[in-house]
Amino acid sequence: MRLPKSIPGNILRGLAWAGVLFLIAPLLVVIPVSFTPERYLSFPSEALSLRHYETLLFDRRWSGGILTSLLIASVTTVLSVVIGTLCAVGMWRIGGRRMQLLRLMVLAPLIVPSIVHALAFYKSWIDLGWLDTVWGVIVAHTTICVPLVMITVSAALSGFDHRLEYAARSLGARPLTVLRRIILPNILPGVVSGGIFAFITSWDEIIVILFITARKVRTLPQTIWSSIMERVDPAVAAISTVMVAATLAAVIIKLTLAKRAAPQP
């Protein structure tokens, strides 16, 4: 895109930075707040304290929430990576217009508003008896995350030459061997980014959780939600800081992986 020449470079740059600041500032606010020694949300005035980080570790409401979320997000990631990858590879292999239609259907969970989704899960989970179970949450989250994996894996496959599969088979490889030794190594960056997307999505999903869990299953976002609703606890700022740091770490890992697997000319 060509920008009009009338805007001088430094103003343009200033605008860009203002935009970046606008996006990031709210996130940055939580970091100092998390170090406050007080029991309420405030900026630390004199001393810094790690007490709210301690709460995260030792208060069972928080640590339990973190562990539950970790469990759900990990299992969800594994399931959606396996299902999403196999699905994307299968659709890539078959190809054609019918697959385009199917792709649209599989991607529907991304298009339907979460609240509609949540309602649908709620209704079905009652009948299945899955309400308020870890397994029920995992299934719901996997449903949401499979399309994410499919998108990234399909993108990786779109640049993958069908003839590589043909070549491998003509050299004597069975279809599963082709998948393991030829296709997977080449689409690994797509699989990994899909997995990261899936993990993050499951990790901070709240809407569906609010609908299909009650007391037995308490994930981290749910704990945050209720601790904000019930009493304004600076531990929320602490966990937010941890989550920002973790997300940042994940993005950095993903970027380094993407760079390493940069497409060869």
Interface residue list for another protein (CB under 8 A): 161, 163-164, 166-174, 177, 181-182, 185-186, 264-265
Q: How far is the CB of 184 from another protein (least distance, A)?
A: 10
The structure tokens listed for 102 are 């199917």
Residue with Cβ nearer another protein (61 or 169): 169
Q: How far is the CB of 252 from another protein (least distance, A)?
A: 23
> What SS3 state is found at 130?
coil
Q: Is the dihedral of CA 153, 159, 162, 163 positive or negative?
A: negative
Q: What is the Cβ-side half-sphere exposure of residue 218, based on CA atoms within 13 angstroms? A: 13
Residue with Cβ nearer another protein (186 or 201): 186
Q: How far is the CB of 263 from another protein (least distance, A)?
A: 9
Residue with Cβ nearer another protein (14 or 159): 159
Q: How far is the CB of 188 from another protein (least distance, A)?
A: 9
Q: Is the dihedral of CA 237, 239, 242, 246 positive or negative?
A: negative
Residue with Cβ nearer another protein (107 or 261): 261
**DSSP calls for 214-261:** -SS---HHHHHHHHHHHS--THHHHHHHHHHHHHHHHHHHHHHHHHHT
Q: How far is the CB of 164 from another protein (least distance, A)?
A: 5
> What SS3 state is found at 137?
helix
Residue with Cβ nearer another protein (8 or 263): 263
Residue with Cβ nearer another protein (4 or 185): 185
**DSSP calls for 89-156:** HHHHHH-SHHHHHHHHHHHHHHHS-HHHHHHHHHHHHHHHT-TT-HHHHHHHHHHHHHHHHHHHHHHH
Q: What is the Cβ-side half-sphere exposure of residue 176, based on CA atoms within 13 angstroms? A: 0
Q: How far is the CB of 257 from another protein (least distance, A)?
A: 14
Residue with Cβ nearer another protein (169 or 254): 169
Compute the distance between CA of residue 3 and CA of residue 11 in angstroms, rounded to an integer. 13
Residue with Cβ nearer another protein (5 or 260): 260
Residue type at position 41: L
Q: How far is the CB of 148 from another protein (least distance, A)?
A: 24
State the Rg of the chain over Cα.
23
Per-position b or e across 225-246, b if 16+ CB within 10 A of its CB:
eebeeeeebbbbbbbbbebbee
Q: How far is the CB of 171 from another protein (least distance, A)?
A: 4
